[in-house]
Chains A and B, each alone.
Chain A
Amino acid sequence: MIDVLYFAWVRERIGLPKEKVETSAATVADLVAELSAREERYALAFSDTSALRVALDQDLSDFDAPLAGVREVAFFPPMTGG
Chain B
Amino acid sequence: MRIVVQEPAFDIGAETAAFASGRHDMGAIVTFTGVVRDDTGTLDHLEIEHYPGMTERAITAIADEARTRWSLGDVLVIHRHGCLAPGAPIMMVATCAPHRADAFAAAEFLMDYLKSRAPFWKKEVTRDGAAWVAAKDADEDALTRWKG
Is this pair of chains taken from one and the same complex? yes
- Closest Cβ of chain A to B59, distance in Å, is 9
Query: Chain A: which residue is nearest B59 at the CB level?
Result: A81
A79 at the interface (CB under 8 A from B): yes
Asked whether A76 and B91 contact (CB < 8 A) given A9-B132, A82-B34, the answer is no
B121 at the interface (CB under 8 A from A): yes
A5 at the interface (CB under 8 A from B): yes
Asked whether A74 and B54 contact (CB < 8 A) given A79-B117, A79-B121, A80-B133, the answer is yes
Which residues of the partner chain A approach B119 to less than 8 Å between Cβ atoms?
Answer: 7, 55, 74, 76, 79, 81
Whether the Cβ atoms of B51 and A7 lie closer than 8 Å is yes
B7 at the interface (CB under 8 A from A): no
Whether the Cβ atoms of B115 and A82 lie closer than 8 Å is yes
- Summed over the interface, the residue pairs from A and B with CB atoms below 8 Å come to a total of 72
Cross-interface CB contact of B118 among A5, A9, A81, cutoff 8 Å: A81
- Closest Cβ of chain B to A41, distance in Å, is 17
Within the assembled complex, what's the spacing in Å between the Cα atoms of A55 and B139?
A: 19
Among A5, A58, A80, A81, the most chain B Cβ lie within 10 Å of the Cβ of A81
Interface positions of B (Cβ within 8 A of A): 34, 49, 51, 53-54, 57-58, 79, 90-91, 111, 114-123, 132-135, 139-140
